[in-house]
């Protein structure tokens, strides 16, 4: 059964039940009311008035019954009008929702429903629009991801093809091209590994093993890991000279990965003769780590997008400059460990800071 007949029958049933209740109530209360007034008339008119009593009661019942019967057509009309108005609005909203859902299923994520007011139908339309916007963002991210992955793979694959053709043509020998081929293969492996990690981190599927450790130990481990690379580039790496008792409760290996990503990023953007400084300070309930470089800085228009996957401030940078997801991984890991990652920048350099929680009484 369609919506209008169901609404019509429902409205009509309610009205008829109300009329029946009114009729029953009138049958219970009206006779007593009329008898009281008839007795008053009999006392005024005398014995002649007693003969009028049956006629008055019959007239009262006929009038009441006739009025109620005459109200039935009006009840039907009112039920039809109200059911029509209600069904039209509901059907229109449902049809819009149906068309919109079919559009989403067909991949038209830009489809939106008009605002339908403040009632439940309006809430449903607004929720649909929120869903559509979310799906549109997901689709945009998917398309961007595919494009970025293709772009990131193009350079090493082109290099591998060139080396392979050189071998096939006899222009190059295997000992000449073997190191270069190995380097490009490792670049592809690194990209695949980073893509797998960033997808798992953003989905919250990376297992964390929290423990309590010293912030100084974390800085020392990160500095030791990059000491040779910084020396080769001629960039000075400074860390606190004295151990400060700053306990941290987090996953040491993941925190080291975050700090390593920030140090690698700082090394890529700091020229020879520059300086990168590591530091850690205690704040309320957390420890703040900072990686400060003396590079050229990040333009303000890029700061809001610096943590996006594959986003590069300098579009001319190549595959050798990193996979393009290091900062994305770092931010996701910090968030999963209960901290925050942010960046400030000026022409004199950039500073990346992230926080990690200090031990609570439950985790001494």
Residue pLDDT, tens place only, 24-71:
666 666 666 666 666 666 666 566 656 666 666 666 667 767 766 766
DSSP 277-344: EEEEEEETTEEEEEEEE-S----HHHHTTTTSTT--SSTT--GGG--S-HHHHHHHHHHHTT--EEEE
Q: Can you give the residue ranges of every domain in the chain? A: 3-105, 120-202, 211-357
CA distances from 352 to 44, 222, 326 (A): 104, 15, 13
> Taking a C-beta distance cutoff of 8 angstroms, is the pair 56, 38 a contact?
yes
Rounded distance between C-alpha atoms, residue 128 and residue 356, angstroms: 37
DSSP 90-112: HHHHHHHHHHHHHHHHTT-TT--
Helix, strand, coil percentages in the chain from 3-state DSSP, rounded to 5: 65, 10, 25
Q: What are the two backbone dihedrals, phi and then psi, of residue 318, each rounded to the nearest 5 degrees?
A: -110, -175
Axis crossing angle, helix 215-233 with helix 252-269, rounded to the nearest 10: 30
Closest CA to 357 of 253, 240, 210: 210
Rounded distance between C-alpha atoms, residue 126 and residue 58, angstroms: 60
Pick one of 1.10.287.130, 3.30.830.10, 1.10.357.10, 3.60.20.30 as the CATH number of 120-202. Answer: 1.10.287.130
> What pLDDT, on the 0 to 100 scale, is given for residue 48?
61
Q: What are the two backbone dihedrals, phi and then psi, of residue 337, each rounded to the nearest 5 degrees?
A: -90, 5
Rounded distance between C-alpha atoms, residue 142 and residue 245, angstroms: 44
> Taking a C-beta distance cutoff of 8 angstroms, is the pair 16, 75 a contact?
yes
Give the CA angle between residues 194, 320, 184 to the nearest 5°. 80
| Per-position b or e across 197-209, b if 16+ CB within 10 A of its CB | bbeebbeeebeee
Closest CA to 281 of 240, 313, 251: 240
What CATH code is assigned to 211-357? 3.30.565.10
> What pLDDT, on the 0 to 100 scale, is given for residue 54?
67
Cα within 13 Å of Cα(226), Cβ side: 28
> What pLDDT, on the 0 to 100 scale, is given for residue 191?
76
Specify the residue for token string 């209360």. 29
Rounded distance between C-alpha atoms, residue 13 and residue 18, angstroms: 8
> What pLDDT, on the 0 to 100 scale, is given for residue 320?
46
> What pLDDT, on the 0 to 100 scale, is given for residue 157?
85
> Taking a C-beta distance cutoff of 8 angstroms, is the pair 354, 339 a contact?
yes
Parts of the chain with a pLDDT under 70: 1-12, 15-16, 19, 22-61, 64, 67-68, 70-71, 75, 79, 83, 85-89, 91, 116-117, 144-145, 148, 151-152, 242-244, 310-324, 362-364
Q: Do domains 120-202 and 211-357 have the same CATH topology?
A: no
Rounded distance between C-alpha atoms, residue 158 and residue 166, angstroms: 12
> What pLDDT, on the 0 to 100 scale, is given for residue 317?
46
């Amino acid at each position: 059964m369609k919506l209008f007949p169901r609404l019509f029958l429902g409205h009509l049933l309610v009205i008829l039940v109300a009329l029946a209740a009114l009729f029953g109530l009138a049958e219970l209360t009206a006779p007593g009311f009329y008898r009281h007034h008839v007795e008053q008339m009999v006392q005024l008119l005398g014995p002649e008035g007693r003969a009028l009593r049956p006629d008055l009661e019959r007239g009262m019942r006929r009038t009441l019954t006739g009025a109620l019967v005459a109200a039935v057509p009006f009840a039907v009309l009112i039920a039809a009008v109200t059911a029509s108005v209600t069904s039209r609005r509901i059907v229109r909203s449902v049809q819009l929702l149906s068309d919109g859902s079919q559009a989403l299923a067909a991949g038209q994520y830009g489809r939106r429903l008009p605002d339908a007011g403040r009632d439940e139908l309006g809430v449903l339309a607004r929720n649909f629009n929120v869903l559509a916007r979310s799906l549109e963002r997901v689709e945009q991210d998917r398309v961007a991801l595919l494009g970025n992955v293709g772009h990131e793979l193009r350079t090493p694959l082109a290099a591998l093809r060139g080396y392979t053709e050189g071998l096939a043509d006899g222009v190059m020998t295997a000992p000449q091209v073997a190191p270069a081929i190995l380097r490009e293969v490792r670049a592809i492996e690194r990209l695949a590994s980073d893509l797998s990690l960033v997808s798992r981190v953003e989905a919250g599927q990376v297992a964390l093993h929290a423990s309590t450790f010293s912030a100084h130990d974390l800085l020392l481990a990160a500095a030791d890991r990059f000491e040779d690379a910084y020396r080769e580039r001629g960039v000075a790496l400074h860390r606190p000279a004295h151990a400060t008792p700053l306990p941290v409760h987090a996953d040491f290996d993941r925190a080291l990965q975050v700090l390593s990503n920030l140090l690698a990023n700082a090394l890529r953007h700091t020229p020879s003769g520059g300086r990168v400084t590591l530091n850690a300070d205690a704040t309320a309930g957390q420890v703040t780590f900072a990686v400060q470089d003396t590079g050229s800085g990040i333009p303000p228009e890029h700061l809001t997008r610096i943590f996006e996957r594959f986003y590069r401030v300098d579009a001319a940078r190549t595959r050798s400059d990193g996979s393009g997801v290091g900062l994305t991984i770092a931010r996701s890991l910090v968030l999963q460990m209960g901290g925050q990652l942010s960046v400030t920048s000026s022409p004199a350099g950039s500073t990346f800071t992230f926080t990690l929680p200090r031990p609570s009484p439950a985790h001494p």
